[in-house]
Amino acid sequence: MTRSRQSLNLARNPIVLALGQVVTSPILDIERYIPKLQEEFRHAGYPLFERIDLQSIQLGPNQSPTIQSESKWVFLNRERSQSISIGQSFIVLEQNSYSSFDSFVDALVAALRVIGGRVKPALVQRIGFRRVSLVEGSEMLAAERFIQPSMQGVDNQEFTMSGQHQYEFRGETNDGNLMIRVIRPAPAGVLPPELLGGVVSVREPVTLDNSATIDIDHFAARTEDFEPAELLNSFWRLHDASDLAFRQTVTEAALAHWSQDGG
């Protein structure tokens, strides 16, 4: 698939975390594949390895809460700027050194091919592309000047903002569901709460007071065969709408600022 519009090619790319997720039909004995996967990923530029045990509380009508445990296995590059996480029913690529979607999706599809060759997942049930951008204001340009007024909620000339302000948009696209969330100032840790605690480090602003985050999540529920080549096209379509959402969320002043070479 080709781009529908020219890449922004921002010298100061504001994206601090990009995630590509594939939810598959469950593979209950996934752990037995991990040693072989670790050997392949170790030679593919992911020499670091972690196992993380997750716990979740399940609630149901007329019954006591139950705690369920699940593990995920994480393969990281040397700089801890990119990781591949695998669980019984998911594959996730995370990257904080995002330069272009081309390189991001190439790394994701390469990981899917390794996993497909070893584990052979049967079905894909959901895919998603999520990007979190950090807006850092300056003495010359406040953080809110980077964001379109329509994406900032109420008019701050009439209402004084105190604490943290969050605006969220949810809608549908031709390829799935889209969420845009603007948080001012940026939350502690920069990321939304559900993304905190990851193994990939995230750049933080010089000061939280003059900052914001733009969280764009485009995802689609589906049932199809696990075919990395087809998933490549699907992720490009997710990116296409996400890219448009980003362009419509930020201002021309923001794009001009991020286009400047910081060196």
- Per-domain boundaries in the chain: 15-259
Q: Residue 153 is encoded by which pair of tokens?
A: 């909620």
Distance CA 24, CA 226 (A): 8
Residue 262 has pLDDT above 60, yes or no: no
Which of these ranges, 99-103, 163-167, 248-252, 253-257, has the smallest mean pLDDT? 163-167
pLDDT digits (tens, 9 = 90+) for 43-81: 999 999 999 987 666 566 766 676 667 899 999 999 999
Question: Which regions of 29-65 does DSSP assign to beta strands (E)?
Answer: 48-58
Distance CA 162, CA 157 (A): 13
Whole-model pTM: value is 0.90
Distance CA 115, CA 231 (A): 13
By three-state DSSP, how is residue 98 classified?
A: coil
Mean of pLDDT values over 81-107: 96
Q: Decide which of 154 and 32 is more confident.
A: 32
pLDDT digits (tens, 9 = 90+) for 114-157: 999 999 999 999 999 999 999 999 888 899 999 999 898 776 56
**Adjacent-strand bridge partners of 94:** 19, 83
Distance CA 31, CA 15 (A): 32
